[in-house]
Chain A
């Protein structure tokens, strides 16, 4: 493998790893904020217990999300320096603004929230976690604006003198049509992730740990709250995903064709639930198909025409010349790795739908004070938090791999983006170092999470404002 391959593996590994934790924390920060607001309003012990308990789980995840996020900020310069030179004029701005607007907000107010129980009034304290949540949303907005520009570059001019893309209209970058669908899609998926995490944990505790009626009522509250959020966010993800598909068909038709492994243009086009075969367009052995569905997903019309890979490849070759990305992919170029896009697309949708369906089932079984949760639900409790996490990963795998061979669609191939001065030995060193460290941290993180979960939402004393300078801190590291 050369430096390019290793750098790509590294980007995939560190980015997917980082994004295992980020959606959990975006979603959980909102849910913890809701719990604390309910506590401030109603002063019921349960909401305080849930705030502290899920707050702790939120912090365990947030810490690793922040720590691995540092790499994200610097790896563009380290491994992708030609990319950084080429797009820095446009891509750097959202990154810098993300730091100034979002990271400061998140880190400062999280510090206030963790340590401020005895320093701030309950209202102000609850406001802090809301500000943290707003920080996570701002962060998501700017980084997604940067990514959306890579999917669909707008608001720029190519400068032949400097040989780079230069910013021309910042508003166009911030309100890119890809961004306008990607942001709600990603954030709603993050709410699903946080809610599925809470629902899984609360279900498990309800079945395995709740001994008293009080405990059962407590976990029931968490189950109902997270169940509704998961279901509602799931519907939102489906709707925004549908919009997303249509925008994608318009700006990156190859990605849509690759999602279906559709080689020949069809009108109307069917959607295959799954296929057994080589996916190279020649040897389809068995396939379960829904007629017209792909036409609807791509165009909003059941009779719509969906262009196939072969025709698009010919069209791209005419526009961009013969394969610019070396012979990095299959001969012919411009075509992403179809089995990856095909299956990632299906797994993203399938796992997301499954999570929302579980939420619907739980809500139905616990409707109007009923108790329809028995021992067998432990398995669902364990599976639930993982479903949206995996769906997120497959979604990003799809959207990033589906853009290949481009780093910036139509402007720069991934092969040209890599740092020319960095040796494969250096990239390999960092890949091995990150992978080992991240592996160890995953074990630590999961162990800690399970430990906190097993302890359950214990009874906590109400926080009191400090009047005595000698009293111990309510929270200390």
Chain B
């Protein structure tokens, strides 16, 4: 197989990884106002993704970097072309990142409320706009002979792309609700499961319309198979959720997202950014790629280090595998004088009490 094809596949894998992982933490973020009744419950939700969201987000940074390295022309055209949506995504991710880290640093209702808003907006905006961006990539945008995007913001806001955005938004919301039902205990778990089924049904309808549209417009045999798998996995996942099989439900929504994204990439191949102006001006895996030497170097790096990354990321999920309930959320109260006195009685330098 050509190395350019390998790297097209690897970039697809990175985006699949990103959407499968960050997809659920976007979902957790955007469902917070719906799922949580009070601050403790909000903290339960945030802490289900607390240790992992940052690692999930790195997938998009690596996807961006890999696109730069393997397909510089794709990176240049895409990022300069989709300028304003991308700006919105970046601003949203910035406030979202800080919301996680800063929200709990001050025990004041107004402070938390502001960061909660940042978390919700910071989750909704990228969840929607990534879908808009991918739909536009697959559909094709005006690109001239110099590989420059010649459209504007309104070129990108077409009905098909907006439907793509709605699809990712709803899929991630479903994925997030299922994740919450898998990772929490108590009342919130049941609420999340019920919500997952309801949102999931809407997501299924919208996704099927979007995927059928994609298949009719640009699909290939491969993408058709992937889309069927995606639809089946989503329906299966919802069925499992309604029966209380949260683990299987999560696998279902995960496979659905993975297969849908894989289908989009299969529909795209061998283009990486089709030109709607003239087919000959499309960016393809060959005319947008880096040199064979660079791809060889990058392939070795990926082959050696990707398994390592997957291993330690999986280990993190294992370490934090326990369900979280309201009883696990520590009170924000600092140490009482009694605690302090107790600690000071303990001889300094002595072994830790086990």
CA distance A159 to B236 in the complex (A): 52
Quick check: B64 and A93 within 8 Å, CB to CB? no
B169 close to chain A: CB less than 8 A: no
A352 close to chain B: CB less than 8 A: no
Q: With contacts A77-B80, A108-B316, A168-B293 known, is A472 near B329, CB below 8 A?
A: yes
Within 8 A of A (CB), among B61-75: 61-62, 64-70, 72-73, 75
CA distance A114 to B83 in the complex (A): 35
Quick check: B80 and A421 within 8 Å, CB to CB? yes
Quick check: B69 and A104 within 8 Å, CB to CB? no
B114 → chain A closest CB, angstroms: 10
A327 close to chain B: CB less than 8 A: no
New contact pairs (13) apart from A62-B101, A74-B90, A170-B297, CB-CB < 8 Å: A43-B349, A46-B348, A63-B102, A67-B97, A77-B75, A89-B72, A95-B65, A95-B68, A214-B344, A441-B98, A472-B330, A473-B47, A473-B328
Quick check: B54 and A476 within 8 Å, CB to CB? no
Q: With contacts A89-B291, A89-B294, A100-B309 known, is A429 near B84, CB below 8 A?
A: yes
From the candidates B55, B81, B105, B353, name the one contacting A104 in the complex (CB within 8 A).
B55
CA distance A429 to B47 in the complex (A): 35
Chain A neighbourhood of B351, CB < 8 A: 43
How many residue pairs link A and B with beta carbons under 8 A? The number is 271
CA distance A66 to B66 in the complex (A): 19
B243 close to chain A: CB less than 8 A: no
A171 → chain B closest CB, angstroms: 10
Q: With contacts A70-B61, A81-B80 known, is A437 near B94, CB below 8 A?
A: yes
Per-residue B-contact encoding for A117-157, CB less than 8 Å = 1, 0 else? 00110100000000000000000000000000000000000
**What is the interface size of chain B, counting residues whose CB is below 8 A from a CB of the partner?**
88
**What is the interface size of chain A, counting residues whose CB is below 8 A from a CB of the partner?**
90
CA distance A345 to B298 in the complex (A): 37
Quick check: B68 and A77 within 8 Å, CB to CB? yes
Quick check: B76 and A95 within 8 Å, CB to CB? no
Q: With contacts A60-B102, A93-B297 known, is A464 near B354, CB below 8 A?
A: yes
Chain A neighbourhood of B78, CB < 8 A: 77
CB-nearest residue of chain B relative to A440?
Answer: B95
CA distance A96 to B302 in the complex (A): 10
Per-residue B-contact encoding for A85-124, CB less than 8 Å = 1, 0 else? 1011111110111111101110111111011100110100
A166 close to chain B: CB less than 8 A: yes
B41 close to chain A: CB less than 8 A: no
CA distance A168 to B292 in the complex (A): 10
Q: With contacts A76-B68, A476-B330 known, is A67 near B98, CB below 8 A?
A: yes
Most chain B beta carbons < 10 A, residue from A88, A166, A168, A470: A88
Chain B neighbourhood of A71, CB < 8 A: 90, 94
Of the listed stretches A250-258, A316-324, A454-462, chain B binds A454-462
Chain B neighbourhood of A433, CB < 8 A: 87, 91
Report which B residues bind A (CB closer than 8 A). Answer: 43, 46-47, 50-52, 54-55, 57-58, 61-62, 64-70, 72-73, 75-81, 83-84, 86-87, 90-91, 93-95, 97-98, 100-106, 146-150, 290-291, 293-294, 297-298, 301-302, 305-306, 309, 312-313, 316, 319-320, 322, 324, 327-331, 334-335, 339-340, 343-344, 346, 348-354
CA distance A406 to B330 in the complex (A): 55
Q: 9 pairs across A/B with beta carbons < 8 Å?
A: A63-B100, A73-B64, A77-B76, A85-B72, A97-B301, A99-B61, A112-B316, A452-B105, A472-B328
From the candidates A42, A437, A472, name the one contacting B349 in the complex (CB within 8 A).
A42
From the candidates A59, A90, A420, A462, name the one contacting B101 in the complex (CB within 8 A).
A59
A78 close to chain B: CB less than 8 A: yes
A50 → chain B closest CB, angstroms: 14
CB-nearest residue of chain A relative to B348?
Answer: A45
Chain A neighbourhood of B101, CB < 8 A: 59-60, 62-63, 477
Chain A neighbourhood of B148, CB < 8 A: 81, 420-421
Quick check: B75 and A88 within 8 Å, CB to CB? yes
Most chain A beta carbons < 10 A, residue from B64, B80, B102, B322: B80
Quick check: B47 and A111 within 8 Å, CB to CB? no
CA distance A71 to B58 in the complex (A): 13
